[in-house]
Amino acid sequence: MGKGSPRDFKRQAGVALKDPALRIALGRARSGFVEKRTQARRQLPEFDRLCAAATRVRDHSIDHLDTLLVRFEQEVLAAGGQVHWAATAAEARQIISGICSDAGARVVAKGKSMVGEEIALNPALEADGLTVVETDLGEYIVQLAKERPSHIIAPAVHKTREQVAALFARRHEGPRRDLSGIPELVDEARRVLRRAFLSADVGITGANLLIADTGTSVLVTNEGNGDLCATLPDTHVVIAGIDKVVANATDAATVLRVLARSATGQPITAYTSFFSGPKRAEDLDGPKHFHVVLLDNGRADIRQGRYRDMLRCIRCGACLNHCPVYTAVGGHAYGAVYPGPMGAVLTPLQWGLRESRDLPNACTLNGRCADVCPVHIPLPALLRQLREDIHDAKVEGRMQRWLLGRWVRLALQPDRYRRVTAQVAGLLRRLAGARGRVSRLLPIPGWGRGRDMPAPAGKTFFQQYRTPSKSSGDRS
């Protein structure tokens, strides 16, 4: 599981719905994340105003992306670091591969990075003969299970504690031991990971924000693993999308105040780290070499088009946690790096409409994602726009296109519409008999699988209705 493709969304979702352990794991996560965010919001009366401020910050960033990025680069260079520009995922892989080779690296310690997933970094480094160890607990679990993250901030959210215990027992060396509680699992992971930190030659982390006027990469974690990746190895590589830049520390603080609250319901994460370059003479610790890899991979194009709002995204995951589809099928069903509503927008833009046409459609447009988005991304509107693009490119199902076309034509001819609907109502009524519902033989096969179709009354409203003003003769 976890290696699927967006093309197989339907099948993957079907498999996920039949997985009882997944249902338990997602159920726990859903209630946890949703309740904690609700509480965090309640405890901060100005939360909604902060979100509006964060939205303005992110808009400002996207509007001035080019100048902010150039400033960021200047500051990193001035601090003794290096900046690499990667137009594509392949370029980013080559750059990082080169840095590792220059460092003579054998072991790489990685902090959680969705951009790392986006460019499929681990397989590339492993192909170079490197040992790559994920150090975020959730990401480590996923790596051990040879899966992909199923959530952008909780990579192993699809696994129950019992499944993780079984995985550790199977994959870690050592005698039989008690792995029944979360503390025992964390301790065991910590022991394994500590060895990796100490032997790593290169540490790679993502970044939640890039601060332009100080050249600082900001990373939030709850485990402190990011700090270890950044300070223990001789070389630290930050990989981030170009959209992550903000103007200054004040703007960064505004975003950080809504980020953790939206993500986990915390006022702030346990660790918020600021990396501004290699170790200076007076520093107690830090890497000898500091690199930032800035990834475009379609972002500059998105910025030019009508999906620009999507670049405000701060990857908090609130839209996933509040999405009924995501919480029913989990992240792997999407078959893409980014799942849930934000992923259903990003994936078609990055991978193409035909490949991912299911994702924007597998949404009830209930709007809860937009309600909880801390940077006010109009996700349902963007998903609807993608449906328009799919329709305009004629890559949707042919049956769907034909049926929709017929419906629109019918709706535009009220008289014909009246006759056809009257026939359909009568037909369904006869199929139902006295039962009040139709269970099979439906013109819409998707409905009948697990639901009855309540039968129409028999005559449509307009077959029965007489306009009062018509009968009184004062309106024609």
* Residue numbers at the binding site for other proteins (CB under 8 A): 10, 13-14, 17, 324-325, 328-329, 361-368, 371, 384, 386-392, 396, 400, 404-405, 407-408, 410-412, 414, 417-418, 421, 424-425, 434-437, 439, 444, 446-447, 449-457, 459-462, 464-465, 467-469, 472, 474-475
Return the number of the residue (146 or 459) whose C-beta is nearest other proteins.
459
Query: Is 56 or 391 the residue whose CB approaches other proteins more closely?
Result: 391
Collapsing DSSP states into helix, strand and coil, what is residue 131?
A: strand
Give the orientation angle of helix 182-199 with respect to helix 137-144, to 10 degrees: 90
- Residues 419-444 as b/e (b if ≥16 CB within 10 A, e otherwise) read eebeeebeebbebbeeeeebeeebee
Smallest separation, CB 266 to other proteins (Å): 22
Q: Which is nearer to other proteins, 159 or 387 (by Cβ)?
A: 387
- Round to whole Å and give the CA distance between 218 and 275: 6
Tell me how far, at minimum, the Cβ of 375 lies from other proteins, in Å. Answer: 18
On whether the CB atoms of residues 395 and 354 are closer than 8 A, the answer is yes
Q: How far is the CB of 452 from other proteins (least distance, A)?
A: 4
| Residue 292 C-beta-side C-alpha neighbours within 13 Å | 34
Nearer to other proteins, 175 or 468 (CB): 468
By C-beta, is 24 or 410 nearer to other proteins? 410
One-letter-per-residue 3-state SS of 273-336: EEECCCCCCCCCCCCCEEEEEEECCCHHHHHHCCCHHHHHCCCCCHHHHCCHHHHHHCCHHHCC
Q: Minimum distance from CB of 186 to other proteins (Å)?
A: 30
One DSSP character per residue, 329-356 reads: H-SGGG-SSS-HHHHHHHHHHHH-TTTT
Q: What is the DSSP letter of 159?
A: S
CA 56 to chain CA centroid, Å, is 22
Residues paired with 220 in a beta bridge? 272
- The distance of closest approach from Cβ of residue 437 to other proteins in the complex, given in angstroms and rounded to an integer, is 5
Q: Which is nearer to other proteins, 215 or 360 (CB)?
A: 360
Contact 136, 155 (CB under 8 A): yes
Choice between 169 and 457, CB closer to other proteins: 457
Q: How far is the CB of 156 from other proteins (least distance, A)?
A: 22
Provide the minimum distance between the beta carbon of 253 and other proteins in the complex, in angstroms, as a whole number. Answer: 30
* Amino acid code (one letter) for 40: A
